[in-house]
Structure 1
Amino acid sequence: TDCSKNPEILHMYERIIESYFTLSGQMRELRCSILLEELLLKLSEINDSSVSGTDILVQEMIHRIHSTPDRFISPKELADLYHVSIRTVSGRFKKVTGESIHQYQLKLKLNMAYDELPFNPDRPLRDFAISYGFYDEFQFSKLFKRQFGISPSERK
C-alpha cells in the first residue's frame, strides 16, 4: 500500500525528524523510538486493512501458486479446484493482482530463480528450469533474459 501521500503518515514522519534534530541524548533516543513505534503500528494497521479487503478466493489461489513453484497451475485447474468458472477465477485474480494468473506465476518463478541463482552457481540451468515448472533450460533462459535483461548464466 502506498502511503506516500497519507497526511497522517507524513505528520508522524515529520515528528520523528523534528525530535531527532531538536532533542539530544536519552530524551532524543526515547522520543524517536516511541514515535517510530507509533509510525510502524500505523503502517501495519493500514497494511492490514488493505489486505483484509482482498478477495479470499484470490488469497487461496496465490497461496496455492506459491506452494507449487515446480509447475504452472492453469486457470481451468483453479476453477475446478474452487468450483467456479474459469472466467470468475481469471477475472477476480486480475482484479486483485493486476496480472493474469499466468503472468503472475511467470513473474514469481523468474524472481525466485533470480534470487536463487547466485547461491547455486554449479547447479545446471536445466535443474533450475525443471524445478520452476519450465519446459527446458532454453525456454527458461529466454524468458529470464526477457524479464531481467541478462541471461541466467550471467546472473550466476
Structure 2
Amino acid sequence: MAVSARQLPVWDGNGMDDTRQTVPFMSRKDVLFSEPWQIDLYAVAEALGKVNPLADVAVLAVRSQQPFPIYPFLNTLQTARTEVLHVLWQGSRSFVLTLSAASMEPLRQVIEKRLRECCDGNVLAGLCGPLPLARWEEWLLALEQALWCLNQNVLERRGVSVAEPRVFRGSGNCAGALDKLLQVWPEGSVSAVMSVLDEAFAVMRQEHWSLREVAVYCAQAVVLVQAHARWPRGGTSRMWRRPEDWQEWIAAECCKLEALKARLKEIVSGLLETPRDATAMGRSVQVLRVMEWIEAEYASELELENLAARVYLSAGHLSKRFKQETGMTVHEYIIRTRLAKAKDLLLNDLSLKVYEVGTRVGYADATYFNKLFKRHVGVTPKEYRERGGV
C-alpha cells in the first residue's frame, strides 16, 4: 500500500494536522486512558498493506491491572493462527494490537482464552472488526470502537471477556436511579439502601450505561449519602465524591462491575452506621462491625467469607484490614472470644459439664476443645475450673 505524506493527517480528536507523522489519538468515548496514544500512521499503513485479502482484520485494545506479559501473549496468538500485524504500546499495562485471522468469532474465543492464560491480574479488553477496508482511516475508527468496548467491558459478567460492539442505549437514568436512593431515606434501613444500589447496578448492566455515567452515579451516591448520613464524617469517603476518583480507580484496578458495586456499598455502609466507639478506637466501621458480630454470634459457625460479605468486602481485603487494625487474624479473634466466654462459663456455671461448655461456645468436638483450651490457656478446661481460674 503506497501512502504519501498528504494521506496521513494527525487525528487529535479535535481536528486534523497533516504536518506530522505521529498521531496523538484520544478517544472521546474513553475515560480510562488519560494520555493520548501516539500512533505512527506510516507503520499502520504499512502493516495493513500486507493483509491477506481473504482474512479479517481487527483491532484489540487491552488494559491490565498488572504489567502485561506481552511477548508470551503474542506467541500464543501466533500459534493459534492469528497474525499480529501491528503493536501499539502505552506503558507496560496497555496496548493495542492489529490482528488478522480467518474469521472474527474464533478470534474472540482465542483472545479470551489467551488473556486468561497470560495474565494474573484483572484485564479489560475491547475488540472491533472486521475492518471494511484495510486502510488507516478505517483502522482509526476501529481503534475508537475498540477503546469504547474496553470501557464497556467493565459491565461484562465474566472475569475476562472481549466486549462486542453494541449500540449505547443510555437514557439519562442516572438522575432517576439517584431519586430512588432518596426515596428510601425515610425508611432508615441500611438494607433498603443496599437493595436500591443492587437495582441500580443491574440497570447499568442491562442498559449498557457508559462508564462515565456509572462513575457519575457512584460519586453522586456518595455525596448524597454523606449529606444525609446519621454519622456525617469525612475520611476516605471524601476521596470518592468525584466521578474522576472512580474512573481512576477503575483504570488502576481494571475491575468489573461487581467490584465497583462492592466498593460503593462499603463506603455507603460505613457512612450509614456507627458501631461502638468507632472514632475513639481508631478502627474502621467494617472491622468494628465484624468484631461485634463475632462477640454476639460466637457459638455459631463463623466463616470468613460470610463475615466479609456482610460488610461488602472480599475475604482477602477483610483479613488484611482486620490484621492491620487489631494485630490478629479474624480466626484468632474468634478463638480468643470463644475461650473468654468458655472461661466465664467454667467459673460461673458449675452445672455445665466441660464438654457442654465447649458446645456452648462453638466447639462441639470435646477433644478439640480441650486441646485448643490448653494450647492457649496453659491448662485444660477441667484444671482451669478446679483452680478457680489461672
- What TM-score comes out, normalization by structure 2 length? 0.27
Alignment correspondent of 1:55: 284
Paired residues, number = 109
Q: Which of 330, 336, 352 matches 1:101?
A: 330
Structure 1 vs Structure 2 CA RMSD: 1.8
Alignment correspondent of 1:146: 375
Q: Which of 130, 134, 155 matches 2:363?
A: 134
| CA spacing shift, 1:48–1:134, aligned 2, 3 Å | closer
Structure number with greater CO (CA < 8 Å, separation at least 6) is: 1
Q: Gapped runs of 5+ residues in structure 2?
A: 1-276, 386-390
Contact 1:109 1:132 survives alignment (8 Å): yes
Q: Shift of residue 83 of structure 1?
A: 2.0
For the pair shown, which has the larger CA radius of gyration, 1 or 2?
2
Q: Shift of residue 115 of structure 1?
A: 2.3
Alignment correspondent of 2:295: 66
Q: Shift of residue 68 of structure 1?
A: 0.5
- What TM-score comes out, normalization by structure 1 length? 0.64
Structure having the higher helix fraction is 1
Q: Shift of residue 48 of structure 1?
A: 8.1
Contact 2:345 2:357 survives alignment (8 Å): no
Give 1:5-154 correspondences, 5 Å limit: 50-51=280-281, 53-154=282-383
| Mapped partners of 2:278, 2:290: distance in 1 | 19
Deviation track 1:116-137 (CA, whole Å, cap 9, x = no partner) reads 2022223112211111111311
Contact 2:278 2:288 survives alignment (8 Å): no
Local SS of the residue matching 2:324? helix
Contact 2:287 2:321 survives alignment (8 Å): yes
Q: Shift of residue 138 of structure 1?
A: 1.0
Moved over 2 A (4+): 47-50
| CA spacing shift, 1:66–1:48, aligned 2, 3 Å | closer
| CA spacing shift, 1:77–1:48, aligned 2, 3 Å | closer
| CA spacing shift, 1:131–1:85, aligned 2, 3 Å | same
* Amino acid corresponding to residue 109 of structure 1 in structure 2: R
Contact 1:93 1:101 survives alignment (8 Å): yes
| Mapped partners of 1:55, 1:49: distance in 2 | 8
Structure having the higher strand fraction is 2
Alignment correspondent of 2:181: none
